[in-house]
Amino acid sequence: MKTLSLLAAAALAMAASLPAHAHTPYLVPSNFAPRAGQTVAIDASFAETFFVPETAFDDSQFTVTGPDGKQAPLASQVMKTRTVAEYTLPAGTGTYRLSTGPRLGALFRTWEQNGKRESSRDPAVKIPTGAKVISDFQSLTQADSYVTVGNPDRAALAPRNKGVELVPVTHPNDLYVGETFDFIVQYDGKPLADQAVEVTEAVWSSDRTPQVVNLKSDAAGHVRLPLSAAGTWIALTRHRTAAPAGAPVAEYSNSVTLSFRVLNP
Could you report the per-residue pLDDT of 38-56, keeping only the tens digit for each?
A: 999 999 999 999 999 999 9
What's the DSSP call for residue 67? T
pLDDT of 19 higher than 70: no
Q: What is the pLDDT of residue 208?
A: 87
- Domain-embedded: residue 265: no
Buried b (16+ CB within 10 A) or exposed e, 190-219: ebbeebbbbbbbbbeeeeeebbbbbbbbee
**By C-alpha distance, which of 101, 255, 74, 99 is closest to 172?**
99
Q: What is the pLDDT of residue 213?
A: 97
**By C-alpha distance, which of 247, 238, 264 is closest to 19?**
238
- Lowest mean pLDDT across 58-67, 115-124, 140-149, 215-224: 115-124
Task: Count H helices and E strands in the chain, helices first.
Answer: 1, 19
Residue 216 Cα distances to 106, 111, 123, 208, 213, angstroms: 27, 32, 34, 26, 10
Distance CA 16, CA 185 (A): 17
Number of structural domains in the chain = 1
- Domain-embedded: residue 61: yes
Q: Which helix (H) or strand (E) holds 78?
A: strand 76-78
pLDDT of 14 higher than 80: no
Q: Which helix (H) or strand (E) holds 13?
A: helix 5-13
- Domain-embedded: residue 264: no
Distance CA 211, CA 250 (A): 35
pLDDT confidence bin for 251, thresholds 50/70/90: very high
For residue 122, what are the domain limits?
5-259
- Domain-embedded: residue 130: yes
pLDDT of 23 higher than 70: yes
Distance CA 162, CA 214 (A): 25
Query: For 83-123, what is each residue's pLDDT tens digit?
Result: 999 999 999 999 999 999 999 999 999 999 999 999 999 99
- Domain-embedded: residue 11: yes
Q: What is the pTM of this model?
A: 0.90
